[in-house]
Structure 1
Amino acid sequence: MTTLRRDATEPYEKHATPLRSPWPFTGREDELDLVRHSLSGARRGLVVTGPAGRGKTRLVTEAVRGTDCARVTGTPRTRHLPFAAFAHLLPGPGTLHQALGRLAGVRTLLVDDAHLLDDSSAALVHQLAVHGRTRLLVVVTDGEPVPPAVSRLWTGELLPRLALPPLPREDTVRLLSAGPDDTPEPLTANRLHRLCDGDLRLLRELLDAVRADGRPAHAPGTWTWRGPVPLTAAVRERTADVLDRTGPEERDTLDRLAFAEPLPLDPDDLDLTALERLEGDGLVHVDDHGGVRLAHPLHGPVLRAAA
């Protein structure tokens, strides 16, 4: 069986690659206990937030495995349709009050991608939290616009919030070693962990790309990667905010940082207007020693590969 993947440099050519089995759930023991604890006793649930690719959905899915839990998911194409996310749980159109009554028998509800809910569905989730008869697990991606009714779940202290941290390095190594292939040696594992900065989807894409290109050097029981970062479609998408900067001053600053970071914060050496824009967009930052650096560890290798 195959799935189709589009290469970043050939937008219309289709490449067949083997379907990948999901990684086993690894680490997160404390977070898993916290999520399960939030659904017990008199507790009313939890909001889990974090950047895309951090493993929020996998965590909450593991937490409710084997339980009687209803599930709804926000999607971008249905944000204009009232109660679209709840269509499979509601027998037909109606008011917010009617929807609340129809969900009276739902004891636990998992709301994935809650930042993509339509306004009616968001209001329904908020009212379920207010009434407190349904335990809620709500997943929200950082950096995305969130309906006010959803953000008020934690800002209004209706539900506690778990900001999911990156998977620790040791658990990342366990993931990289979970398949039938050899284990990455420590420097390779450290590099992959640092480049992905907690984005497990990006980690999987990078790992597949490195192996597909035949770049790893194998030794008994381990493999090593020392080559450039492959500019796959996923890598380009993840770094589009730097690769797509068209302003010459901004791109010049980014390229200089890619090859020589950290640079001193010197108005005679750096365009401060461009630097201010880049810092405002979260692409660069000033470290504790006054040096200017790229904000994400993947940006430097990608900019160098694209130079």
Structure 2
Amino acid sequence: MTYETDATTLELPWPFTGREDERELVRRSLTGARRGMVVTGPAGCGKTRLVAEAIRGTDCARAAGTPESRTTPFAAFAHLLPEPVTLHGAVRSLSGVRTLLVDDAHLLDDASAALVHQLAVHGRTRLLVVTTGGFRVPGAISRLWTGELLPRLALEPLPEEETDALLTAGAGPLDALTANRLRRLSRGDLRLLRDLLGAVRGLLTPVPGTGERAWRGPVPLTPAVRERAAAVLGRTCPPERETLDRLAFAEPLPPDQDDLDLDVLEVLESDGLIEVDDRGAVRLAHPLYGPVLRAAAGRLRARRLAG
């Protein structure tokens, strides 16, 4: 992992905060007769950091799924297994591993997922399995908790008080408007919160008489922020980008508005870029998209869309 050191980038890692009870619960799942735990939750809520803190100082083998290796059998365990290997041979090879952490288990290839399930069935290896909500999970992984092989800990986004503690650790005391704005834009994603704070850190100005600092103005389009909003900024189809930009300046919009293309709206909805509520109003799917699209628009385009 590379850590940038320019003045606008937040130093890493952030202090571990707000998950002390969950950390102890994970630790206890690896002691005595217990066989481990599955940790689930939305992207960026701190699942990997939680289990890393829970196993700190212990002897633990690690494996992780990746999008690129989902079609390669046993790809996640290639560094732990001999070649070639069957499922039976893989279980036998890992039977001596006391504790195994499997991160991003929703990205495992089918053979690796089956291996994790068999390790749980045999019960000789204590397993910590981390998976992100909102993705299709291999059936062998979901059966870990639906089949009651392992208990599941479903993490919620970090509470507001603990999130504010992270912001203070990263940039000092912030005024309420700035803290609320950063929380809203990140929507519980701590990695996005870190990126946003890194982007605005050099723009914070003192609030007279308070000791706090404030951020006003548009979202800065740093490389980290652009990467986070690539789904909308990288949209190259002109009608789709025009619709996204219009929403950025005037959401919500009624879907039956005469000059809105319903075919375009369906494509954007299926790609998870817009949402339609029960009353039919159309909005951008993430609170970061609007500010980033507005910041990326030129002055003439912004004037036309705002009008």
TM over 0.5: yes
Distance of 2:76 and 2:275 partners within structure 1: 39
Q: 1:59, CA displacement in angstroms? A: 0.8
Query: In 2, Cα distance between the equivalents of 1:110 and 1:59?
Result: 12
Which of 11, 19, 25 is the matching residue for 1:20?
11
Q: Aligned equivalents of 1:75 and 1:262: distance in 2?
A: 36
Name 1:251's counterpart in structure 2: 241
**Identity of counterpart residues, as a percentage?**
73
1:299 aligns with 2:289: yes
SS of the equivalent of 1:27 reads: coil
Q: Which residue identity does 2:282 align to in structure 1?
A: V
Q: Which amino acid aligns with 1:178?
A: A
Secondary structure of 1:264 counterpart: coil
Q: What is the RMSD of the two structures over their aligned residues, measured on CA atoms?
A: 3.0
Identify the structure with the greater helix proportion.
2
- For 1:154 and 1:90, locate their aligned partners in 2 and report how far apart those are by CA, in whole Å: 26
The letter for the 2-side match of 1:96 is: L
- The residue number in structure 2 matching 1:69 is 60
| Among 142, 149, 153, the residue aligned to 1:158 | 149
Tell me, which stretches of 5 or more residues in structure 2 are unaligned? 298-307
Partner of 1:266: 256
Structure 1 residue identity aligned to 2:197: L
Secondary structure of the structure 2 residue equivalent to 1:257: helix
Query: Structure 1 CA distance, aligned partners of 2:70 and 2:153?
Result: 25
CA contact (8 A) 2:9 2:198 kept: no
> How far has the Cα of 1:255 moved from its partner?
1.6
Q: Runs in 1 of length 4+ with deviation above 6 angstroms?
A: 15-19
Contact residue 45 and residue 136 of structure 1 kept, 8 A: yes
Aligned to 2:276: 286
- Distance between the aligned counterparts of 2:8 and 2:272, measured in 1? 34
In structure 1, what is the equivalent of residue 189 of structure 2? 199
Which protein is richer in strand relative to its size?
1
Measure the CA separation in 1 of the matches of 2:260 and 2:67: 40
Determine helix, strand or coil for the equivalent of 1:184: coil
The residue number in structure 2 matching 1:208 is: 198
TM-score (norm 2): 0.82
Structure 2 counterpart of 1:206, one-letter code: L
Work out whether residues 8 and 200 of structure 2, in 8 Å CA contact, stay in contact via their aligned partners in 1: no
Which AA in structure 2 matches 1:60? V
Determine the structure 1 residue equivalent to 2:158.
167
User: 2 CA distance for matches of 1:160 and 1:240?
Assistant: 36
Q: Distance in 2 between matches of 1:34 and 1:107?
A: 18
Which residue in 1 is equivalent to 2:101? 110
Q: Which amino acid aligns with 2:118?
A: Q
Structure 1 residues 37, 286: closer, same or farther in 2, change over 3 A?
Answer: farther
Partner of 2:112: 121
* 2:230 is the counterpart of 1:231: no
Please tell me the residue identity of whatever aligns with 1:186.
A
Distance, in Å, in 2 between the alignment partners of 1:276 and 1:82 is 35
Match of 1:35 in 2: 26
